[in-house]
Amino acid sequence: MKLAVFGKRFETEYIDAITGLLDMLVIRGHDLLVGERFSRFLNEIGIALPAKAEIFHDHTEIEGADVMISIGGDGTLLDTLGVIRDKDIPVLGINTGRLGFLSNIPTDEIGQAIDALENKEYKIDERSLIKVDCPDLTDIDFPYALNEVTIHKKEDASMVTVDAYKDDKFINTYWADGLIVATPTGSTAYSLSCGGPIVMPGSENFILTPIAPHNLNVRPLVVPNDCKIRLRAEGRAEEFLLTLDSHSYSLKAGAQVVLSTAAFRMKLIDMEDQHFFQTIRNKLLWGIDRRN
């Protein structure tokens, strides 16, 4: 197989595991493409790349890859979206971060995961994406998000007022620190921390979650994702922030943002014994009594 490897800095406790992973892939005859920034980090910490490994710099240089291996936390896996884009390359997430909702293979299970990859004993979990259309922003290179799109105030600004529409039907004017529009994947991320519901992947929904709303009666709202969500931000400030996952852009007051479901999906690789309810039980500690 041709495997692309994308990653970020990790703690020294993972050096042996990642060294073992790279050695395993070479011994088993796989062709490797390694992200340029990640390769520099590996060199800094004394991990030598295999001689036959090729370096890629951006999404134009990973054609033909069968799988992308993401090494890091959920933030790293989110960043792989900008690399694979619409190339239909499935992603295997190896967790060297903290929570690991998306990057869900612990380093002590790397061997089993590679065995499953080679034997095709895994599941493909397709996740919907949000597409962003905003004529006022010309510097968005890749206008898609896996977790959420958020309009929020800048640090020194007062509340933002966001008018929200489902297609042409007015939903509400949100007076708040911001408004999150999340996918089911993003329901366990920023939206959850602001009181939003957990939505099972594959539910084909958008979740609208206000951030610190002025009116406490305004609650999160779940709508089908076969529509367009139109947002317009106003307020005392001249600019706000539009954030796509972890990438932020300045948004002028009065600018209109239209959100819709992308025509392609991100494919995540899960082991056959993994499922969503198991993940949230483990990560959110459901059923565990901390008093014991």
CB 28 within 8 A of CB 9: no
* Sign of the alpha-carbon dihedral angle for 280, 105, 263, 129: positive
Tokens coding 226: 């076969």
Taking alpha carbons only, the member of 54, 59, 47, 52 closest to residue 21 is 47
Cα–Cα–Cα angle for 275, 222, 75, rounded to 5 degrees: 50
- List the catalytic residue out of 58, 66, 74, 79: 74
Residue type, 123: K
Tokens coding 181: 């529009």
Q: Around 145, how many Cα atoms within 13 Å sit in the side-chain half-sphere?
A: 28
Region of residue 170 (phi > 0: left; psi between -120 and 50: alpha; otherwise: beta) = beta
How do beta strands 144-145 and 130-133 pair? antiparallel
CA distances from 280 to 1, 75, 104, 117, 283 (A): 32, 18, 11, 24, 5
Tokens coding 10: 């990790």
| Residue 139 annotated as catalytic | no
End-to-end CA distance of the chain: 47
As a dihedral over the C-alpha atoms of residue 179, residue 181, residue 184, residue 187, rounded to 10 degrees, the angle is -20
Quick check: helix, strand or coil at residue 121? coil
Residues classed as catalytic = 74
